[in-house]
Structure 1
């Protein structure tokens, strides 16, 4: 008697999850279409090109034995793609949709918040994946270098992209409209880039500052990307000793833990996302 009664209950529990997944996939397809049609989104997608110019200026020197300075820069540039599309684009999109009542209509029509956030995140992941593939192709063509540990590289890119996309949605609640979201998003955007270690070597920072930046998502993501790309220990300003296999993953474990913590925190912060337009008092 108990087993037959439990089966319908299990099906009822699974049904809402399946509905959310279907909603997420449908909305993701729409997000890709809108991304292609939205001029501001295309601008944000191309913006990282300007930030990659130092790779071509530094080409030819070695920052570590056997590691070209240009390749070293490009190997750590993947989180920069994530913060550009995730923070700048998503905050703008959510602010614009909130003010035009689109978010509220979604919620009133029964679309789950998880489907909305999931669709946005998947679309950002798709864009960052294309950008990352282009960076890998350029790095391979110019420097003959391919990722030493593709799985670790993908893990770091996915984690930082998910975090930045969700934080971009949270950030939209601070902005009154899409225009103010563009300006407000520049604060965390440039702030995270400044402490990421991508442009300024971590060795230049005092110990206390290095500790703080290591707890933020960008610096660990850049270190992980470089370590995964070159198969060396580039975590927290290390000397770049060769590391492969399980040794490389053990080196990367603290950085992965930081990114996982930020991913969890960003999910918690989603409860503060505003669905109704902000009206002047």
Structure 2
């Protein structure tokens, strides 16, 4: 990974990197670099770009039936939009952080003009841009093939997408700290993928579960992202039992507010966990 653009500088230079203007500049430069590397690496390209699009495209095959009062295809598509963030940000960055740590890239970056905030923000910005672009593509495909419609509240939907991506950055950093190598990262993230996919209502409602399990599932990281995306897309109060009542543009923000706060809580929790487990230097043993 060519990161010689940022040579090692003094501690005072690193402190200057905390200035807002420099932080934004470094974040953008790192994001551009990460995007370049992403498109050059075939495995990373498939995991972070091609596979989420293929995953979302599965919903385009579901043209009949209804789930929770909405089209099966659109219900699945909106769930896949949320799940795509897992692959684009969480799985990809867990691998990236682990590989860079083991190859001493993170150590060199930390000793350069870059602040720690810029290092994480740059990688997070790159994956978020990819995720937003994928969301736009899949929504367009849903309109063309499933008879879908534009989101009833586009700002809310895309806020859910962006916050979901941001949420996964510190969680990926934390998991990379207990991952031994880039090769093992694909295995490390598998349990998280299975748990989050099973508890998020991405592809099926959880109404058949006991109430206490539904409450646990609703508090998991991916669940609020699914809810916010569906509220923004359908203009329905997804947080209530079906049939879901329609909500207006302004009311949808109020309905989504508790779920947005839960995402924010996971961002804070993920940051605290990352501070405990993230490693800047290679693991020994």
Same fold (TM over 0.5): yes
Q: Distance in 1 between matches of 2:222 and 2:240?
A: 12
Which string of whole-angstrom CA distances, capped at 9 and with x for unpartnered residues, describes residues 38-59 of structure 1? Answer: 1121111211244335524431
Equivalent residue, structure 1, for 2:142: 139
**Cα distance, 1:13 vs structure 2:** 8.7
Q: How does 1:141-160 map to 2 (within 5 A)?
A: 141-142=144-145, 143-160=147-164
The question of whether the paired residues in 1 share the 8 Å contact of 2:18 and 2:115 is answered with no
Q: Which has the larger share of helix?
A: 1
1:277 to 253, 265, 282: 282
Question: Residue 235 of structure 2: which of 215, 231, 238 is its match?
Answer: 231
2:6 maps to what in 1? none
Contact 1:121 1:166 in 2 (8 A): no
Q: Does 1:81 align with 2:71?
A: no
**How much has 1:133 moved relative to structure 2?**
0.9
> Counterpart in 1 of 2:11?
none
Q: Deviations over 1:147-206 (max 9, x none)?
A: 000011011111111111221122111111101111101111221111110123121221
- The corresponding residue for 2:9 is none
Is the contact made by 2:151 and 2:234 (CA closer than 8 Å) also made in structure 1?
Answer: yes
- Alignment length (residue pairs): 268
- 2:62 aligns with 58
Q: Which has the larger radius of gyration?
A: 1
8 A contact 2:68–2:244 mirrored in 1: yes
User: Residue by residue, what CA displacement relative to the aligned partner does 1:121-148 show, whole Å, maximum 9, x if unpaired?
Assistant: 0001011011101111111112131100
Structure 1 portions without partners, runs of 5+: 1-11
**Normalising by the residue count of structure 1, what TM-score does the alignment of the two structures yield?**
0.89
- The answer on whether the counterparts of 1:139 and 1:146 sit within 8 Å (CA) in structure 2 is no
In structure 2, the CA distance between the partners of 1:237 and 1:127, relative to structure 1 (3 Å rule), is farther
Equivalent of 1:91, from 89, 94, 100?
A: 94
Deviation at 1:62, TM superposition (A): 2.8
Q: Judging changes above 3 Å, is the alpha-carbon distance between structure 1 residues 274 and 244 closer, same or farther for their aligned structure 2 residues? A: same
Q: Residues 237 and 164 (structure 1 numbering): CA distance in 2 closer, same or farther, change over 3 Å? A: farther
Separation in 2 of the partners of 1:15 and 1:43? 34
Paired residues of 1:87 and 1:189 also in contact (CA < 8 A): no
1:27 maps to 2:30: yes
**Preserved CA contact (<8 Å) 1:233 1:239:** no
Q: Which runs of 5+ in 2 are unaligned?
A: 1-14
Q: Are 1:150 and 1:229, in contact at CA under 8 Å, matched by a contact in 2?
A: yes
Which of 262, 267, 284 is residue 263 of structure 1 equivalent to? 267
Residues 74, 148 of structure 2: 8 Å contact kept: no
What is the CA-CA distance between 1:114 and the residue it aligns to?
0.3
Matches within 5 A, 1:196-235: 196-235=200-239
Which residue number in structure 2 is paired with residue 68 of structure 1? Answer: 71
Q: Give the aligned partner of residue 194 of structure 1.
A: 198
Q: Which moved more, 1:228-237 or 1:99-108?
A: 228-237
Task: Give TM-score scaled by structure 2 length.
Answer: 0.88
Structure 1, residues 212-267: CA drift from partner, whole Å, max 9, x if none?
11111211111221111011111254422111122222211111110111112222
Q: Is the 8 A contact 1:201 1:237 kept in 2?
A: no
Please tell me the root mean square deviation across aligned C-alpha atoms, in Å: 1.9
Further displaced range: 78-87 or 89-98:
78-87
